[in-house]
């Protein structure tokens, strides 16, 4: 059975692979470059974000845009920039380049940042975890530069990494010139691009442990602990809100990339150029209320649940179970119960020996030929290669059964 199997339903899966698992419709939640392929719900757009210069409301699971206003306009974004900074930090953590208990030293340059800060002194050392807390909760410009230097060696190299990431995600309306969003030339993004960046950041499960904090302290063991209060007040006052980043400069006005989760449904709302923080918070609240009242998440597979059995050639076992490593959902409209897009699984027979955790295919959700989301499928157990004697025995048994059936 060479090549890839493309499966759209459980009957076809059972005929081709012989698995007892019911496939139904399959889903994957996008990551990496796939996150840039985003669909738009075809229903009439609601009247939202009236005073925002630009806005987007997006389902985090599938990337479906539920509302958009001037979503591709290039605008200053102030400290919402730090979403990209945090994304690079968590990617560095994921690949083991840095660790939460790393001691991050503050350079003279990092300590010189103005605006929102945690008042780092030149030469002061703080753990990476504490620096992240300063960035996520207090929007600390000094911590953002210190962390950038720790990861990349210099701010300029880190900014190059930020722009490389924007290109990798397919962002067309984004360019960074610093890691903190302080006013500088050639530094901009769009509501759409920020929603895509937010969606990619939320792939990292540990992020909301920081962005969802309303208050905490730094330098807890010192004589003068530093009290942090989240610049996003909706963390405290909106049910399910757990991020992500506010921003304000006189040029950018009031901005927010927000994330909220209720049950299994997570939404991202981005507003740029709001006249006041009160209006910003009110309009994001309205956007989230609309999303949670009109949509739900339809569970397809829980994290770690077996998706199907994949054939194994020359293996002691003739099939192995595969699973996704994240919970999979489809976006569902509460009014008519329709779902956005359709899901397809692609797998190929494996050849023993097979390792536990080996890539075996993928599950994708598609709409209009575009990949909205994608999850790889991994084997849940190892399969050793069958001996030559056993292979001969299998062949003889197969020949006997074929002969008996004539």
As a whole number of angstroms, the distance between CA 375 and CA 203 comes to 11
Torsion over CA: 233, 87, 118, 256 (sign): negative
Instruction: Name the region of 79 (left: φ>0; alpha: ψ -120 to 50; beta: rest).
Output: alpha
As a whole number of angstroms, the distance between CA 343 and CA 23 comes to 10
* CA 398 to each of CA 179, 384, 390: distance values in angstroms, whole numbers, following the listed order: 64, 21, 12
| Three-class DSSP category at 285 | helix
As a whole number of angstroms, the distance between CA 314 and CA 4 comes to 18
Return the structure tokens found at 8: 């759209």
- Angle at which helix 82-94 crosses helix 191-201, to 10 degrees, equals 30
Q: Which helix (H) or strand (E) holds 57?
A: strand 54-59
**Catalytic sites, residue numbers:** 79, 82, 139
Q: How many CB atoms neighbour CB 267 within 10 A?
A: 23
* CA 128 to each of CA 7, 151, 392: distance values in angstroms, whole numbers, following the listed order: 44, 10, 58
Q: Which helix (H) or strand (E) holds 209?
A: helix 208-211
- Judge contact between 110 and 142, C-beta under 8 A: yes
């Amino acid at each position: 059975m060479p090549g890839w199997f493309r499966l759209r339903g459980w009957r076809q899966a059972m005929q081709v692979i012989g698995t007892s698992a019911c496939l139904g419709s399959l889903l994957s939640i996008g990551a990496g470059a796939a996150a840039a392929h985003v669909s738009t719900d075809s229903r009439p757009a609601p009247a939202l974000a009236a005073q925002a210069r630009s806005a987007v409301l997006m389902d985090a699971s599938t990337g479906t845009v539920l509302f958009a206003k001037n979503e591709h306009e290039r605008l200053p974004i102030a400290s919402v920039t730090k979403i990209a900074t945090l994304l690079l930090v968590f990617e560095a953590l994921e690949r083991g380049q840095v660790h939460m208990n790393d001691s991050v030293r503050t350079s003279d340059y990092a300590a010189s940042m103005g605006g929102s800060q945690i008042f780092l002194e030149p030469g002061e050392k703080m753990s990476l975890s504490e620096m992240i807390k300063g960035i996520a909760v207090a929007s600390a410009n000094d911590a953002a530069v210190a962390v950038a230097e720790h990861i990349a060696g210099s701010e300029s190299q880190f900014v190059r990494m930020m722009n490389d990431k924007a290109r990798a995600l397919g962002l067309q309306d984004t360019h960074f010139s610093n890691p903190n969003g302080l006013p500088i030339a050639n530094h901009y993004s769009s509501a759409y691009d920020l929603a895509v960046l937010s969606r990619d950041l939320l792939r990292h499960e540990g992020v909301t442990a920081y962005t969802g904090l309303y208050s905490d302290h730094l330098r807890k063991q010192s004589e003068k602990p530093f009290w942090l209060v989240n610049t996003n007040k909706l963390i405290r006052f909106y049910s399910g809100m757990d991020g992500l980043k506010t921003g304000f400069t006189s040029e950018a006005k009031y901005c927010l990339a927000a994330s909220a989760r209720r049950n299994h449904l997570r939404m991202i709302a981005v507003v740029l150029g709001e006249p006041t923080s009160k209006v910003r918070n009110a309009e994001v609240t309205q956007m989230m209320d609309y999303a949670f009242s009109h949509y739900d998440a339809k569970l397809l597979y829980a994290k770690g649940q077996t998706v199907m059995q994949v054939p194994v050639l020359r293996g002691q076992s003739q099939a192995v179970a595969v699973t996704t490593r994240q919970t999979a959902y489809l976006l569902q409209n509460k009014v008519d119960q329709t779902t956005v897009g359709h899901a397809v699984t692609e797998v190929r027979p494996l050849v023993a020996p097979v390792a536990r955790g080996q890539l075996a295919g993928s599950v994708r959700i598609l709409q209009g030929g575009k990949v909205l989301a994608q999850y790889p499928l991994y084997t849940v157990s190892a399969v050793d290669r069958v001996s030559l004697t056993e292979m001969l025995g299998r062949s003889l048994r197969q020949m006997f059964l074929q002969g008996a059936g004539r």
